Structure 1
Amino acid sequence: MMTPEDIEALFTRADGSYVFARWGRPIAPIVFGVEDRTLSTVKGAFEAVMALSGHKMAETDPELGSNTMVFFLRDWDELAAVPDLDRLVEGLAPLLERLKSIEANQYRVFRFDEAGAIKACFIFIRMDDELSQLPAETLALSQVVQSVLLWSDLAFTKRSALGQLDDGRVVLRPEIAGLIRAAFDPVMPSFADDPSHALRLHARLSTQAPSQ
């Protein structure tokens, strides 16, 4: 099991601040730029993670229509041509210039409600040579896991949230799966900025059945 320090590190940002947020409303995803087969894979990943977390999915969000937009693209400039995206993502133009300058292949933008809970997420995936080598299932699961909570910007830089079974299948690491379940426990807050929150997450992990 992860220690409280391990959990705290997953939500401690590069500037040293502790920030945690989970979704405060059902997730209503929409996916752009993929074939139907990949679309089914991405939606399947959302369904699997929602089933794990106990959180809900919805066909539409009453305020935003879709509150989780996943864009697959080959070049960052493609996003500049998406109608009204600059109204949904503040500072889109300078963001795209920065992503191009560092040759990034993925980026996530979160929006939050008045209580600090996640209310929208925009997931941008540029299919460079590295990401194109990944199976669709692996890429989809990785992106969904990274958007279901507000993780630290350093959370998975040294070790992926995913692991590989003996038969070659890629799955969510058990400790990360347990942490997501704990984070969505109804008794836990939707937002926290005090490191003591990691102790509460650890306590919820301790109460989970070994078989989970």
Structure 2
Amino acid sequence: MSVTLTPAEIEALFLRSDETFLFARWGRPIVPVVFGVDDRTLGVIKGAIEAVVALAGHRMAGTDPELGANLMMFFFRDWQELPEVPGLDRLVPDLGPLVARLQEAEANQYRIFRFDEAGAIRACFVFLRMDEALGAVPAETLALSQIVQTILLWSDRAFMDRSALAELPDEGGVILRPEIAALIRAGYHPVLPGMSRDPSLALRLAARMAVQ
């Protein structure tokens, strides 16, 4: 499998539906906390987080000085459970209207990012309503997919036509597509900015991928 992407393919992964380009990566160590899963699933999710963070060459920590935890993942059965989570309305403004919109759309997942003064990611909230579709996805696949989608600020259209993951035909599991793994590594190279709205960044990312 190819581990290269053209600059145009890279740009498309960060080109939003309003046709604006926006790239961002985490600017601080990632401190995860997961709600609503059993111990086995918790271990799977934390293993996926550690693997993707290591792939990026980024860092994890035991606590975030501002938020305590800055990557919060919520697993639940009904959107109406969210307003009952103590203090969540302080972390997610307009939580009530958001829940109403997601419920009306019958959405089963949603991600909210928060950014620091430089535009880098400082927090992410992941909400997963475990409907029949998500419930049928193996825990390892769901965990890896979600972490990949939080390690960078991808376009809202990224991975709609093709998943970031690839199946292992002989083993039945999944892996991160090599070209997406290479792009994540390139995105965390220290010479590149933590945030950019300049589409020419795709050229720099392609160049970094080429020398890995």
**Same structural fold, with TM-score higher than 0.5 when normalized by the shorter chain:** yes
DSSP-derived class of the 2:143 partner = helix
Paired AA for residue 202 in structure 1: A
Partner of 1:115: 118
DSSP-derived class of the 2:90 partner = helix
Q: Deviations over 1:77-128 (max 9, x none)?
A: 0001011111101121111111011111000000000000000000000001
Partner of 2:88: 85
Select 1:104's aligned residue among 99, 103, 107: 107
Select 1:179's aligned residue among 143, 167, 183: 183
After TM superposition, give the deviation of residue 166 of structure 1 in Å: 2.2
Partner of 1:3: 6
Partner of 1:47: 50
After TM superposition, give the deviation of residue 37 of structure 1 in Å: 0.5
DSSP-derived class of the 1:5 partner = helix
| Alignment gaps of 5+ in structure 1 | none
Partner of 1:17: 20
| Count, aligned residues | 208
Paired AA for residue 22 in structure 2: V
After TM superposition, give the deviation of residue 51 of structure 1 in Å: 1.1
Superposition TM-score, scaled by structure 1 size: 0.97
Partner of 2:139: 136
Give, in whole Å, the separation in 1 of the partners of 2:97 and 2:201: 34
Give, in whole Å, the separation in 2 of the partners of 1:115 and 1:182: 19
Partner of 1:33: 36
After TM superposition, give the deviation of residue 16 of structure 1 in Å: 0.2
1:63-78 counterparts in 2 under 5 A?
A: 63-78=66-81
Partner of 1:202: 206
The ranges of structure 1 where at least 4 consecutive aligned residues each deviate by more than 6 angstroms after the TM superposition are none
Percent same amino acid at aligned positions?
66
DSSP-derived class of the 1:204 partner = helix
1:152-167 counterparts in 2 under 5 A?
A: 152-167=155-170
Paired AA for residue 71 in structure 2: T
Paired AA for residue 194 in structure 1: D
The answer on 1:170 being equivalent to 2:174 is yes
After TM superposition, give the deviation of residue 170 of structure 1 in Å: 0.4
Superposition TM-score, scaled by structure 2 size: 0.97
Paired AA for residue 23 in structure 1: W
Give, in whole Å, the separation in 1 of the partners of 2:211 and 2:190: 14
The answer on 1:191 being equivalent to 2:195 is yes
